[in-house]
Amino acid sequence: MAYRIHVIPTTKRRIMRFTDGMKTPYGLEIIESCLSCPIVKDRLFCNLPQRALEGLDAISSSSTYPKGALLFVEGQEPRGVFVLCNGRVKLSASSADGKALILRIAEAGELIGIPGTIAGQPYEVTAEALEPIQANFIPRKEFLHFLRAHGEAALKVAEILCQIYHATYQEIKYLGLSGSAAGKLAQFLLDRIGSEEQKSEAVRVTLTLTHGEIAEMIGASRETVTRLFASFKKKQLIEVHGSALTIKSRTGLTKVVEA
């Protein structure tokens, strides 16, 4: 299968001109640099001491990418990592017959491509932009040197790797522990509930994935997911209005998983 990787460089100097009143690429709210990022404290990897943040900014190059752009593909030699400034990226793996499985969706503030970059092994997934994004690229050699020089950043990378492990475990739950497609979808929806809402019977969550993308995450067909959503709504287990989904019966979904 032939892949086309979109690389659309946008230097920091050019980004600064965009923020002076010109239209930004793809309508994005461009972040000029790590040092001026307004939400750096809310992001796990980027929330670093000033000296480390300056070092990170010095080795990063910022680019914007359109929806559907590939940052890297499964099996490609690791060039480095991407810090996702805004937007979402789909991380997926493919089989020899072309079937794709979404392992997780990376959100703004996440670091993409860490395992392969640190281990020096080919990227284990394909990273595709689900919407227009801005990302900072850090070459492998510079990134490893940065981690050696800044212990705080290395600890954050260790935490991120633990999160990747947890996400992989969740994927195994969908594919292996739930016997039916209904159980897999119910477990997927229950996993959208935040830790502070685990005891609530009715919970409202934001679901921005399409039925096709959800299908790729739980190992089902898009038609099956669409049918199950209709069934869950008919049984008063959920209510959907656009991207807003209300889990009306957490207990009911749990029974579907256990069935």
- The more confidently predicted of residues 258 and 142 is 142
Distance CA 156, CA 147 (A): 10
Q: What tens digit of pLDDT does each residue of 49-90 get? A: 888 888 988 999 988 999 999 999 999 999 999 999 888 999
Q: Is there a domain that residue 158 lies in?
A: yes
Domain CATH number, residue 136: 2.60.120.10
Same-domain status, 162 and 224: no
Among residues 59, 65, 72, the alpha carbon closest in space to that of 87 is found at 65
Same-domain status, 67 and 42: yes
| Torsions phi, psi for 241 (to 5 deg) | -135, 95
Q: Please state the domain count of the chain.
A: 2
Same-domain status, 68 and 115: yes
Q: What tens digit of pLDDT does each residue of 167-191 get? A: 777 777 666 666 788 988 998 898 8
Same-domain status, 170 and 219: no
Question: Collapsing DSSP states into helix, strand and coil, what is residue 106?
Answer: strand
Domain range for 57? 12-174
Q: Report the run of H or E that residue 103 belongs to, with start and end.
A: strand 100-106
Same-domain status, 54 and 125: yes
Same-domain status, 35 and 142: yes
The 3 state secondary structure assigned to 119-160 is HCCCCCCEEEECCCEEEEEEEHHHHHHHHHHCHHHHHHHHHH
Domain CATH number, residue 206: 1.10.10.10
